[in-house]
């Protein structure tokens, strides 16, 4: 038997987990973000939290890769025994594939904005397939390297190559998971509007894109 608190109203507030977030506070003198206002449904959490969460998550992932990149730069510059890895040419094909997927992603979102759900689904599926194609291409690149005798344990340069590409691929698979979620989820029953989910996923996907270009540039410049 749990004793009541001195302020039972406090428990009512705290127990009411079904209610959504409060009104957007007067932050920085501004009012509501218009798109967020439209998307907010009665009793649903404010969609701002998802974009903020994604932005912050991206910052964190960026720091993770910056740690690896700075390690790469420090070792590359300080080492007299660096053996460069010959980059498989399929990496350039993969890059084009990934950039194309960002393009289809944006086209899909534009279709969604004009309420063309079928068009949105088609292009979104295309994005997902291109993403998978990229990952497959990365696997092919690894196989090519292994066949030519370059393993993660061969030398420092190859260690970095594998860790960069593997870490990026793992994060990209997470992105593919998000793409599939947006594709499959029944948004009629969800607290999260489809438009917000698509928007937030797009931030992540474009970030993965830019990150890959950055990593590739780093590997190329490391020669």
Partner 1 sequence: MQMTTGFDNSANPAQPRKGFFSRHVFTANHRAIGLNYLWLGLFSVFLGMAMSLIMRIHLIWPGTNIPGLSSLASAAERYATLPLLHGSLMVFFVLTAVPQAGFGNYLLPLQIGAPDMAFPALNLVSFWATVASLLGFTTSFLIQPSSGITLWVLSVALFSASTLFNSLNFAVTTIDLRAEGMTLPRLPLTVWAWFINAILSLLIFSILLAACLCLLADRFWGSHFFHSAPFLASLPPNLQATTALALWQRLFWFFAQAEVYVAMLPCFGLVTHLLSTLSRRPVWGERFVVFAFCGVGLVGFFVWGQHMFSSALDPFSPLVFSVLASSLGIPAMFLILSWLATLWGARIQLSASMLFALGFVSLFLSGGISGIFLARQDLSAAAVSDEFITGHFHLVMGVAATFAILSALFFWFPKLFGRRLSEPLGKLHFWLTFAGVYCIFMPMHWLGLVEHSHSPSTRAVALANAGSSLRSSITVAMLLTVFAQGLFLFNFLWSLFRGEEILESNPWRATTLEWNQASPVAGTGLGTSDLVVYRGAYEFIDSGDSADFLPQHLPPAHGPKPGGELKMDSA
Q: Is 163 in the site for partner 1 (CB under 8 A)?
A: yes
What x/- string results for residues 86 through 105 when contact with partner 1 is judged by CB under 8 A?
Answer: --------------------
Shortest separation between residue 145's beta carbon and partner 1, angstroms: 14
Among 35, 106, 156, 195, binds partner 1 (CB under 8 A): 156
Q: Which stretch binds partner 1 (CB under 8 A): 54-62, 90-98, 101-109, 110-118?
A: 54-62
Rounded to an integer, what is the distance from CA 19 to the centroid of its chain? Answer: 29
Q: Which stretch binds partner 1 (CB under 8 A): 73-81, 90-98, 110-118, 181-189?
A: 73-81
Q: How far apart are CA 52 and CA 87, in angstroms?
A: 37
Q: How far apart are CA 205 and CA 97, in angstroms?
A: 13
Among 30, 31, 34, 43, binds partner 1 (CB under 8 A): 43
The torsion region of residue 29 among left (phi > 0), alpha (psi -120 to 50) and beta comes to: left
Distances (CA, A) of 215 to 2, 68, 125, 221: 57, 10, 26, 10
Among 30, 31, 34, 81, binds partner 1 (CB under 8 A): 81
Q: Which is nearer to partner 1, 42 or 149 (CB)?
A: 42
7-36 residues near partner 1, rule: CB under 8 A: 7-17, 19-27
Shortest separation between residue 58's beta carbon and partner 1, angstroms: 10
Question: Is 34 exposed, middle or buried, given 0-12, 13-18 or 19+ CB atoms closer than 10 A?
Answer: exposed
Contacting residues for 194 by C-beta, under 8 A, at least 6 apart: 112, 182, 185, 187
Among 32, 38, 59, 117, binds partner 1 (CB under 8 A): 59
Q: How far apart are CA 208 and CA 181, in angstroms?
A: 17
Helices (DSSP H) in the chain: which residue ranges? Answer: 8-15, 34-39, 48-78, 90-113, 117-147, 156-184, 194-221
Point out which residues bind partner 1 (CB under 8 A): 2-17, 19-27, 40, 42-46, 48-49, 52-53, 56-57, 59-68, 71, 74-75, 78-81, 152-153, 155-156, 159-160, 162-163, 167
């Amino acid at each position: 038997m749990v004793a009541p608190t001195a302020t039972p109203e406090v428990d009512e507030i705290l127990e009411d987990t079904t209610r959504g977030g409060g009104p957007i506070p007067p932050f920085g003198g501004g009012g509501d973000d218009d798109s967020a206002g439209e998307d907010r449904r009665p009793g649903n959490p404010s969609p701002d939290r998802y974009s903020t969460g994604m932005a912050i998550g991206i910052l964190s992932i960026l720091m993770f890769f910056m740690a690896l990149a700075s390690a790469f730069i420090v070792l590359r510059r300080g080492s007299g025994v660096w053996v460069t890895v010959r980059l498989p040419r399929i990496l350039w094909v993969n890059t084009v594939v990934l950039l194309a997927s960002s393009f289809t992603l944006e086209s899909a979102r534009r279709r969604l904005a004009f309420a063309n759900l079928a068009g949105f689904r088609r292009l979104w599926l295309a994005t997902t397939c291109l993403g998978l194609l990229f990952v497959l291409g990365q696997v092919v690149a690894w196989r090519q390297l292994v066949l030519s005798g370059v393993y993660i344990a061969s030398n420092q340069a190859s260690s970095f190559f594998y860790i960069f590409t593997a870490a990026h691929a793992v994060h990209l698979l997470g992105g593919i998971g998000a793409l599939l979620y947006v594709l499959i989820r029944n948004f009629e029953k969800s607290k999260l509007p489809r438009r917000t989910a698509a928007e937030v996923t797009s931030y992540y996907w474009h970030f993965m894109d830019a990150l890959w270009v950055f990593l590739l540039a780093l590997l190329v410049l490391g020669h």
